[in-house]
Structure 1
Amino acid sequence: MTDTDVIIVGAGAVGLAVGRALASRGQQVIVLEKNDRFGEETSARNSEVIHAGMYYPTGSLKARLCVAGKHAMYQFCAERGISARALGKLIVAPRPEDLPALKVIHDRGHANDIPDLEIIGPERIAQMEPEIVAAAAIWSPSSGIVDSHSYMLALLGVIEDHGGALARNAPFLSAVPIKGGFEVRVGGNEPMTLTTRQLVLSAGLWSTQAGRAVDGLDPALVPETKFAKGNYFTYGGKAPFKHLIYPMPSVGGLGIHVTPDMAGHARFGPDVQPVETLDYRVDETRKSIFAASIRAYWPKLDESLMQPDYTGIRPKIGNALTQFEDFRILDHTVHGLEGLVCLFGIDSPGLTSSFAIGEEVAQRLGQSAL
């Protein structure tokens, strides 16, 4: 007998979604979180955008889980009265020479099972967003925004309703395979050792350290995690936008975009700034870079009304700063340790994909679909 069925390391949106999936299937779940609240790092510092799924290579985990996660998130939030609004998104191509790349994104979206995408011209763009200047755009009606804190709170509620628990200020120290499961050492003010049948690493920025702390997990399977800072600026004046406005994707990210937040204000960001440490101060020297990028599609931007807002830091693995890297979800078929699932490189679209990642992990741990 073990102390619990499943221990999950990390109480961000993904860790909590994994907990929801397993608790809903009757598993006793404990979620370990080193901070004093859930979702304090990457999950609390992002755009809160629900992505449609057109950016990612067809057949990749990011494509499949983003599309499935989008539908599941809207449904889950609707059932619980959580604000999740499909504002719709315009991906704008400022210049005629951008049109071939725009069509690639459009066609990939259709291949990824997003049938409602369409390419529209300047006249339709002007009707939808009069201040946007572009040669063409992709209209994505299923893109939106979500109240991420309420979403995570609801996931935790499902875990607790099924007898599970969130252990705060409880850092994961190490795990050792034992007969029938794992022995897990937990730090904090009250260090303890727990046994569990199954173990899920969903440690976000700390995934590398968590993976290396599992005895018997081949270090070659544990990728280095690099930090990519995203700065955000808010707009002091009234922004005229009703929809999400995205430029063409940039290296390592989706470009500096405009997000109307839940209060109706406009926020610009994020950019992609490689950093070595978790420094959450906004780099105000990047304001002019933001302004130049935004003016490519919104010439009337008043740079003087841009104010530093906040930053987020995303976990990047492999060459993700310069090219596409997929989510890595490693189970026993890869590493040979029965009952262990490791999540690495869960950056964007991690929030959108979270519900579907939870279902994916549950099935890889031998739990049938609900």
Structure 2
Amino acid sequence: MDDLDALIVGGGAVGIACALALARRGRSVLIAESEPLFGSMTSSRNSEVIHAGLYYPPGSLKARLCVRGRDLLYAFCADRGVPHRQLGKIVFAHDEGERPALERIARRAADSGAGDLAWLDRRDIARLEPALPAVAALLSPRTGILDSHAYMTAMLGEVEARGGQIVCGARVAALRRSGDAWSVFIEGEAEPVLSARQVVNAAGLGAQELAARTEGFDPSAIPARLLVPGCYFGYSGPVPFRHLIYPVPVPGGLGTHLTLDLAGRAKFGPNVRPPIEAEDYVVDPAQHDQFAAAARRIWPGLDADLLVPAYAGLRPKVAVPPGQEPDFVISDAARHGCPGLVALFGIESPGLTASLAIGEEVAERLELGPGATTLDTAA
């Protein structure tokens, strides 16, 4: 049975970033990914946006790790030749009733250190994006887009260059404590296949299930999972926009927005639908009229016949009391009682942007012990 420093369960962007942070600290690491290909679940079903950190409560993990992760991500992409573009984002008020929402975003962004926001009036909007019907807007120049698969491939390349490995098609069935290490059981195998002194549960949609199969993991430390679906529709024609265009947020999401890929193709989404019980990635064509109505708030001249179903994703949210905003949950032994293990729950947007910073946070907690954060080493 192989003996490792660290096992990372989950080969999405966050899991690979955790492996990279540990490999950079000299750890021997192995990534176990249940799917046939790495990064093929939540990490490949999103807008591929590099978020600036505008929306999240100051002091939250989302706010802190998004801003830190944004800067790390731009530097990593530039250094490794990962395709990306800092297009900038416009968040707009469609009418005067939405202006207070913009003011709240501006205050949060300032308090969270996102910075660099500029207010736009009607004249500014007409100059930058004349097709956008808005009374006011915020320009976020630090927002951008990237090729998420190229990003994950580049991270994985460095992990492997430092001696790490990834095994796909390997679903971790259980984790059991054995002395000062973890015995790792793979689905279909009766005996443990390896031992790891440290484990990172970055299983995404499956994080709660794995936590429940981890020996000694306090059940009260497993937050309830909500699977919140969101669909995207593509636009099969040119669009008159150069920036990413976002409405003010709606309950459960950022609102159906317009994003561009690196080839200039546009898509609208994701929408927000009620939570579902099981994973489902079907895009119902019957949502077309809903998407057309949302898209016309951004672009009244849109040709609805060119809107076509694209793909769906699932937000791995954690359930919170009414009126509370969900945050990332980075759970270590101080919370769940398992030494040498960090579990990640609710890593939805801006998880892709924050991935390198999440990796730093996880590595610090494993290195310094329960309750440690990257703030401890920044002081």
Q: TM-score range by the shorter chain?
A: over 0.9
Output the TM-score relative to the length of structure 2: 0.94
Match of 2:343 in 1: 342
Residues 113, 291 of structure 1: CA spacing in aligned structure 2 closer, same or farther, 3 A cutoff? same
> Following the alignment from structure 2 to structure 1, what is the Cα–Cα distance between the partners of residues 323 and 251?
5
In structure 1, how many angstroms separate the alpha carbons of the residues matched to 2:36 and 2:77?
25
Instruction: Tell me what 1:151 maps to.
Output: 151
Give the ranges of 4+ consecutive aligned residues of structure 1 lying more than 3 Å apart after TM superposition. 188-192, 319-323, 367-370
Q: CA deviation at 1:320?
A: 8.8
Residue of structure 1 in register with 2:371 after alignment: none
Structure 2 Cα separation of the partners of residues 323 and 143 of structure 1: 26
Q: Secondary structure at the match of 1:98?
A: helix
SS in 2 for 1:366: helix
Structure 2 gap segments, 5+ residues each: 369-373
Is residue 88 from structure 1 mapped to residue 95 from structure 2 by the alignment? no
The equivalent of 1:359 in structure 2 is 360
Residues 253 and 272 of structure 1 are in contact (CA less than 8 Å); yes or no, is this contact kept in structure 2?
Answer: yes
Aligned counterparts of 2:277 and 2:299: Cα–Cα separation in 1: 33
Quickly say closer, same or farther: Cα 1:77–1:104, change in 2 above 3 A.
same
Q: Which residue identity does 1:104 align to in structure 2?
A: R
Q: For 1:118-267, list aligned pairs within 5 A.
A: 118-187=118-187, 192-267=192-267
How far the C-alpha of 1:87 sits from its partner, in A, is 0.3
CA separation in 2, counterparts of 1:174 and 1:210? Answer: 7
- State whether residues 332 and 338 of structure 1, in contact with CA within 8 Å, keep that contact through their aligned partners in structure 2: yes
Deviation at 1:338, TM superposition (A): 1.5
Question: Hey, what does 1:7 align to over in structure 2?
Answer: 7
Deviations 1:263-315 (A, max 9, x none): 11111111122222222121222121112122223211221110111111121
| TM-score, normalised with respect to structure 1 | 0.96
Query: Could you tell me how far apart the structure 2 residues matched to 1:291 and 1:111 are?
Result: 35
> Which residue identity does 1:350 align to in structure 2?
G
1: CA distance, partners of 2:200 / 2:121: 47
- Residue 97 of structure 2: aligned partner: 97
Count, aligned residues: 370
Q: Distance in 1 between matches of 2:174 and 2:100?
A: 50
Change (3 A) 1:284 1:323: farther
CA contact (8 A) 1:207 1:225 kept: no
8 Å Cα contact 2:2-2:193 kept in structure 1: no
Identical-residue share of aligned pairs (%): 47
Q: Is the 8 A contact 1:170 1:188 kept in 2?
A: no
Instruction: Choose 129-138 or 321-330, whichever is displaced more.
Output: 321-330
Contact 1:2 1:197 (C-alpha < 8 Å) held by counterparts: no
Query: Is it true that 1:290 corresponds to 2:291 in the alignment?
Result: yes
Aligned CA RMSD, in angstroms, stands at: 1.9
Alpha-carbon separation, structure 1, partners of 2:200 and 2:256? 33
Aligned to 1:303: 304
Determine if contact 2:236/2:308 at 8 Å carries over to the other structure. Answer: yes
1:101-116 mapped onto 2 (5 Å cutoff): 101-116=101-116
Separation (CA, whole Å) in 2 of partners of 1:92 and 1:160: 43
CA offset digits 1:47-79 (Å, max 9, x no partner): 000001010000000000000000000000100
Q: Deviations over 1:77-111 (max 9, x none)?
A: 10011112110000010011111111110111011
Unaligned runs of 5+ in 1: none
Q: Which is further off, 156-165 or 284-293? A: 284-293
For the pair 1:34 / 2:34, whether they are aligned, the reply is: yes
